[in-house]
Amino acid sequence: MAMAGIVRRVDDLGRVVIPKEIRKILWIGDGDSIEIVVNRDGEVILRKHSPAGRLGDFAQDYADSLYESTGHEVCIADREKVIAVAGAPAEEFLNKPLAVAVARSIMERKTVRMSRPGSHPYCAGCPRAETGRCRFTAQVIVPICTGGEPIGVMILSTQEPHGSIGELEAQIVETAAEFLAKQMKQ
């Protein structure tokens, strides 16, 4: 993204308006948290705050453990992009935007189990599903919520031709999401 300079005045309450164009580019919505950082040169930097992003290496370790115990691909994401991957090529998923079904699951704060993701109603609008090229044969998507607000999501997937995700694996992912949510509260 190109650097842009915009001058804004601070009002009586210390507020600064972030222009709609910038909010749209950075996907900053009403109620989103913004991190305010001051560097050594005295510059004030505004960053979109991602509480799930704080998990960092912990999320990666957790994804690795889940992959080892279930044998299925695991992705952990904040509300915008994947932050940890296990069992699948990282370059395919890491730091990539969320799929339609995943974003919808987060917005609705709803666990979604799909035995054929490409034909599931949550996948409507996904280009891969519409062309019949969905690579997954089964998925479980579980939002990570703290204080009733979704901060991320945990995804368990398989690409095996006749693969499925059983009830036990789904419960493991739900428990893992609850655990990560509790870690974020601390």
Taking only the tens place, the pLDDT of each residue in 42-56 is 888 887 776 655 666
Quick one: CA dihedral 110, 33, 84, 119, positive or negative? positive
- The three-point CA angle 82-87-90 to 5° equals 45
Taking CA atoms, 15 is separated from 9, 12, 18, 36, 45, in Å, by 8, 7, 10, 12, 15
Residue count of the chain, please give it.
Answer: 186
- Domain positions in the chain are 1-49, 52-185
pLDDT digits (tens, 9 = 90+) for 31-42: 777 888 888 888
CATH superfamily assigned to domain 52-185: GAF domain (3.30.450.40)
Q: What is the pLDDT of residues 56-110, one digit of tens each?
A: 667 888 899 999 999 999 999 988 889 999 999 888 888 888 888 888 888 889 8
Q: Kindly state the tokens that stand for 73.
A: 């691909």
- Contact (Cβ atoms closer than 8 angstroms) between residue 142 and residue 111: yes
Architecture of domain 1-49: Ribbon (2.10)
pTM of the model: 0.73
